[in-house]
Structure 1
């Protein structure tokens, strides 16, 4: 579709692609910084997988695949699918932006307690800041980001990945919340009364 686009559309596609690349790079670098920081503090970034290990890896894989595919469209706009819509792509970029901000805010607030999986050492229940509005802001942010990627690069492969990733990450959320309930008891019960699982529910 790129070859038949006018100059304004081509410019929009270029800006959208640039933002997609920047978000991906910054996100990967940020995760790397978390890993390095935890390593320096003798903290393990990887916790215990809350669900079946294969499904846990599949959840992460199906989140990553849409990013990788969309990067082809960002670098080579002629790879964008025929269903590409400039307006929908901008909606996608906005969703990615909001999701990115939410994810970063959640990780920053967790600080040294950040774990990818269930904690195996000392942990703390964070109930302030962004966690006042969402018990799982990182997953909320991931959902917004991956849906935004699909809006930018509407393809059936991405649609399948989005559905699988959201379903599996929801199962991860439920398993992690069950762990938190056992770990923090009444403190967790009180927290659930004032903060939604994601945002509206």
Structure 2
């Protein structure tokens, strides 16, 4: 009987951990959305061979390069802290990039260096990969959203951007906007037209 108690207790503990871990992840994401600063990251066209896998759209952002003075001190796959501001149109703009977490009360996001140029007598840049480059959607709406997103990138009159909330280095991609409207809303409102 004693062994059965331990097995039951172990099972209950395992179930509790499996519930607590996802619940804490959801709680953290919701806290970032509720209390974080909202930024608009303009998207750019991506490699068309595989922009969509399953239930998400792969996003690439215009504001992903930063000019650097000493390229030899930066390494590919290195974790960096990207301090953000906004441009005159209200879109996200990189203010600075550091290896150390900012101590001042600045909006920043933890990201990765994906490329560093090191060409003598030229301007050198680092390319940054943000942790919010995938926008997940309900499976039934995903292919329509993919089609809309790719069409919007081809139309130079439309501005497409990711709506991202940032708090203490963490980020949540809240929505993808096409000309100021949520991609989810556009898919719902144009369901009949998209399926033709």
Tell me the TM-score range normalised by the shorter chain. under 0.3
Larger radius of gyration: 2
Greater relative contact order structure (CA < 8 Å, 6+ sep): 1
More strand by share: 2
More helix by share: 1
